[in-house]
Amino acid sequence: MLSKVSSFLIAILLSVPWATGQSTFGGIVGVVKDPSQGAVAGAQLTLTSLDDGSQRNAGTDGNGGFEFVNLRAGHYELVLHADGFADYKVSSLQLDARQSLRLDVSLKLASSSQSIEVNGDAGPVINSENGTIGDTKNFQQITGLPVNYRGATTSPLATNRRVSGGGGGYSWPVWPHV
């Protein structure tokens, strides 16, 4: 009985590393710095999903780093506020499945009432966080992919047919000549 239990536990422990690869969630990480490239600790970040309206809040650590994990693929807006600095807003972040998006921010000193808003697409994103290569396709792109099967009209076996002999009721297979 003990050997069955220990075998079961070993099997569970050996399967754990592969179970982590099944997630479709992504994340956004980055560092917030001041104009002199010093870390900004204690900045408040609000990440809003433009698809469903949900919000997540985070703060920067002592090194200015922040991290949003387990995010669904979609469109997001990030607003950053730190005392003494102009508010920073990125209104269109595109996060794909299993993507780790890096967003480093350099804040500017605030005047009386100043905010910075970044609109539009940031261009192609280079994944420098891990070695994952991925792509996201919509329904039309997926249905346009070539199909890897042989249908009844394109299969070489579709020419395997029988022809009837004259009058005797016999049929012979006709094989294509190669």
Residue 113: predicted pLDDT: 59
Can you list the positions of beta strands (E) in 50-170?
55-59, 65-71, 74-81, 87-95, 100-102, 105-106, 115-118, 161-164
Residue 64: predicted pLDDT: 95
Q: pLDDT of 28-74, one tens digit each?
A: 999 999 999 999 999 999 999 999 999 999 999 999 999 999 999 99
Q: Domain 24-119, CATH 2.60.120.10 — does that match? A: no
d(Cα 60, Cα 103) in Å, to the nearest integer? 13
Side-chain half-sphere CA neighbours of 5 within 13 A: 2
Residue 19: predicted pLDDT: 55
Share of the chain above pLDDT 90, in %: 40
Residue 48: predicted pLDDT: 96
Tokens 């029988």 map to which residue?
A: 162
Residue 174: predicted pLDDT: 54
Indicate the pTM of the whole model: 0.57
The segments of the chain whose pLDDT lies below 50 read none
